[in-house]
Structure 1
Amino acid sequence: MRDVVNEVYKKMKVGSIAWVRPVAAKGDTLETFQSSYEHAKALADEGLITIGDVKRQDDNMIEAIRIHRLA
Structure 2
Amino acid sequence: MRDIAMEVYEKMKVGGTAWIRPVSAKGDTVASFQQTHEKARQMADEGLISISSVKRQEDGLIESIRILRLA
Same fold (TM over 0.5): yes
- TM-score interval for Structure 1 and Structure 2 normalised by the shorter chain: over 0.9
**Other-structure match for 2:57:** 57
Letter matched to residue 46 of structure 2: E
Identity of aligned residues (%): 63
Per-residue CA deviations over 1:11-61 (Å, capped at 9, x if unaligned) read 000000000000000000001000000000000000000000000000000
Structure 1 unaligned regions, length at least 5: none
Letter matched to residue 69 of structure 1: R
TM-score computed with the length of structure 1 as normaliser = 0.99
Note the aligned Cα RMSD (angstroms): 0.3
Structure 1 consecutive aligned stretches of length 4 or more whose deviation exceeds 4 Å:
none
SS of residue paired to 1:6: helix
**Aligned pairs for 1:9-20 within 5 A:** 9-20=9-20
> Matched residue pairs, number?
71
**Aligned pairs for 1:28-43 within 5 A:** 28-43=28-43
Distance in structure 2 (CA, Å) of the matches to 1:45 and 1:12: 18
**Other-structure match for 2:8:** 8
